[in-house]
Amino acid sequence: MTIGELSRMTGLSASAIRYYEAQRLIPIAARRSGRRVFDGRALEQIAVVRLARDAGFTLAEIRQLVNEFGKNRWRPLAERKLAEVRGAALRLRKMARILESLIECRCADLEFCGRAIRHSCREGIRKGDKKRETLRP
């Protein structure tokens, strides 16, 4: 299988597959006259990476997962990640609540409106509050 075929089958771009190889997320493919040749195992390996990625692991964590923790050591990592994901979900729920308050508030002025919400929600300014969520659609 060529990289193009693998790309079509997985939905990953060819450059992403090369990148995964360089990052040691998948084993280094055999070469035939300089070009990569893949077999069915590559498909399986990419599926594992994809699953982990869909579960919220970073590529650095996935490297750990596939290279160092073959046997059973991935469980604690998964549990830590689950806690992280739940924390992130919690923060998103807070965002949604703020937005809902803003929308349902009748003020025309955002600053005024925000003041009302801060008063009603008791969401003052806290020092050292650095948590931030990014939205990547």
Partner DNA sequence: CTGGGAGTTAAAGTGCACTCGAGGTCAAGT
Partner DNA sequence: ACTTGACCTCGAGTGCACTTTAACTCCCAG
Binding a copy of itself (rule: CB under 8 A), the pick from 10, 21, 37, 64 is 10
Amino acid type, 7: S
State how far the Cα of 77 lies from the Cα of 132, in Å rounded to an integer: 22
Site string for DNA, 34-73 (x = CB under 7 A): xxx----------------x----xxx-------------
Please identify, using beta-carbon distances, which residue of 31 and 126 lies nearer to DNA. Answer: 31
State how far the Cα of 52 lies from the Cα of 85, in Å rounded to an integer: 13
Q: How far from chain centre, in Å, is Cα 131?
A: 16
Helix/strand/coil for 30: strand
Chain residues in the site for DNA (CB under 7 A)? 2-5, 7, 13-16, 18-19, 29, 31, 33-36, 53, 58-60, 130, 132, 134
